[in-house]
Structure 1
């Protein structure tokens, strides 16, 4: 943990003293604060250099050269969701302030970007036929179709790796050797990849019966044809807080009905609504399961995830919905495949 208090500086201090503060703390920034440590501005080496080029004196008050509108974050905010913003704007030091604007911390971009290792295993389902994307899938399994410069499944894998996950299983069936040939044992990415080989199609949950050992921690299951930017740690936290046996990633969609909808009581018209829009939650193909859920998965037979979830609900076990508001796209149809190509550069590069 950095000692951010060494960066605090009063506004009447000089630019020369700001330079000494920046050097002393080794955090490459000085935070200019007023009473109650309320943030007034920030000073970096770049601010000092620009001030010198303008002809400012090193004995001028630091309030004359500071950035008076720095980018800040609120205490308790999940800064990982803002990583693309910080990287794009090349912001490497982010003051953390409370509701009153007082400094309570300093986040370094390099610390934020370095993922904490997470030992929860991840099962990626890549054994489907992809029939709706034929002829593209006649000679290539759907998860191996390239979006941008890499296969869909690799983008999914990298999304987990970026957040510290390192233990993966990939379920394979249709053209499984193409998947195995590309990913190998995972050493190319510094992770471990093992394979669940389906001799017959086992469905979106049946392949879990092939796991060589029961995981010790809640584990992710994700369909291999999903492009998404999901905060998986937030899903883990949600799952633990809810005390759920299963957490299902859900996406809200709006379904427009292109007619006037009539509500009747017998033959009597009660109401009519012209072209209403109905909001629904759909499964996003991302699941987080407690290890004991595997007791409900039969061995060697077709078993879909909806059937597993219905069994949990029937047993009275808590199955929770985790809303996904980030980018999400199920590549199930040709129009989805086309859209994925359009979105990829802006979302995943």
Structure 2
């Protein structure tokens, strides 16, 4: 129950500030209170992601997107009763209230069950040439380039290990021996690492065909080996399972300011004009959750990129979900990104 005081916020707080509180608090929930800490609502990752999907501006007050009728527990309830209620309602957190409706604590399913490990496998893609980062990658694979004092791939692995994941597969192609020598079997990080090698580039989706199919027994988290992010991996996995999808793609909102006035027309006549509008869209964030049956469908040696693989599933009427990432995220694709990573490594 410690740290719950750090996630108390007011209903009029802008959503962008609430996101900062949510990320810093690390409890995956913020408690909206007014007056003498009386609970009026809750804000979770799911609430924020639904707001982002609707393009609700981050300047909007929390009250516009919060859950105003959350499930709560009485402070006098036993932990067994709280756990039973949380499991029955499929809750990850539940606020504890006193007889006057004031917040006096917060219980989490993770804390009550003391889960230490996650059995889902993780697949890290580390075979790229890093062409846009030459000459740094002439004799070093991009995932081993250091951000701060650690390689990019080590930062990724550590963040996943901290979240409880321990079953890792790493795909290699360019300078594979350097990656294998650095990470070994993963025991230094308290995890288990196995490697698959692409004799020729197979694309992000094609690399799935090299995995030992009998070991992919539950949804697989798949991630490019050149990303820095503080995304909530457990939250991502829970989201995927809740939406019963063959795959889930993490997406990032991208804003582009058109440097000209945009004219909307109906044939010859102008309907409206907008000066230098900001256009919004979602971009692929390079992180996926893939169902075992989709992994099984990719043959060894088949070349296909993940977007094409997912488009094929959509054409077959399979469900592919998207998970908006509001946390820190940086794709280290070119030199400017690499320099930015050096400046922002302290945010991880």
User: TM-score if structure 1 supplies the norm length?
Assistant: 0.70
Structure with the greater alpha carbon radius of gyration: 1
Q: CA deviation at 1:298?
A: 3.1
**Distance in structure 2 (CA, Å) of the matches to 1:81 and 1:153:** 22
Structure 1 position 97, deviation (Å) = 3.7
The change in CA–CA distance for 1:70 and 1:297 in structure 2 (over 3 A counts) is closer
Q: Which residue of 1 aligns with 2:183?
A: 183
Could you list the runs of 5+ residues in structure 2 that have no partner in the other structure? 10-18, 28-93
Aligned-CA RMSD value: 3.0
- TM-superposed deviation, 1:83: 5.1
**Separation of aligned partners in 2, 1:72 and 1:343:** 24
Are the counterparts in 1 of residues 130 and 141 from structure 2 also a CA contact under 8 Å? Answer: yes
Q: Distance in 2 between matches of 1:205 and 1:253?
A: 24
Residue 170 of structure 1: SS of its match in structure 2? Answer: strand
SS of the residue aligned with 1:288?
Answer: strand
Rounded to whole Å, the distance in 2 between the matches of 1:326 and 1:283 is 14
Native 8 Å contact 1:73 1:97 kept in 2: no
Instruction: Say whether 1:236 aligns with 2:237.
Output: yes
CA distance in 1, matches of 2:293, 2:326: 28
Structure 2 matches for 1:270-289, cutoff 5 A?
Answer: 270-289=271-290
Aligned CA distance change for structure 1 residues 343 and 104 (closer, same or farther; 3 Å): closer
For the pair 1:122 / 2:122, whether they are aligned, the reply is yes
User: How far apart are 1:139 and its partner, in Å?
Assistant: 1.2
Deviation, structure 1 residue 81: 4.2
**Structure 1 residue 273, shift from structure 2 partner:** 1.2
Q: Which residue of 1 aligns with 2:321?
A: 320
Q: Deviations over 1:243-292 (max 9, x none)?
A: 11101111111111111112222232222211110111111100001100
- Identify the residue that residue 250 of structure 1 maps to in structure 2: 251
Shift of 1:190: 1.1
Are the counterparts in 1 of residues 230 and 328 from structure 2 also a CA contact under 8 Å?
yes
Partner Cα distance (1:230, 1:70) in 2? 22
For 1:106-154, what per-residue CA distance to the aligned partner results, in whole angstroms no more than 9, with x for missing partners?
Answer: 68x9x69x86200100000000111111111111111111001100000
Q: Residues 97 and 176 of structure 1: is their aligned pair in 2 closer, same or farther, counting only changes over 3 Å? A: same
1:338 is aligned to 339
Higher relative contact order (CA 8 A, sep 6+): 2
Q: Normalized against structure 2, the TM-score is what?
A: 0.71
Find the residue that maps to 2:129 and give its secondary structure: coil
Corresponding residue for 1:145?
145
- Number of aligned pairs? 268
Matches within 5 A, 1:280-299: 280-299=281-300
Find the residue that maps to 1:200 and give its secondary structure. coil
Residues 73-129 of structure 1: CA deviation (Å, up to 9, x unaligned): 69xxx99944579xxxxxxxxx9544921435568x9x69x8620010000000011
Q: Following TM superposition, by how much is the alpha carbon of 1:319 offset from its aligned partner in structure 2, in angstroms?
A: 0.3
**CA-to-aligned-CA distance 1:141-187 (integer Å, 9 cap, x gap):** 11111001100000000010000000000000001111111000001
Equivalences for residues 95-174 of structure 1 within 5 A:
97-98=96-97, 100-103=101-104, 116-174=116-174
Do 2:6 and 2:25's aligned partners in 1 also have CA atoms closer than 8 Å? no
**Alpha-carbon distance between aligned partners in 1 of 2:22 and 2:125, rounded to the nearest angstrom:** 26
**Which residue in the other structure is 2:193 paired with?**
193
* Structure 1 stretches lacking a partner, 5+ long: 5-28, 30-68, 86-94
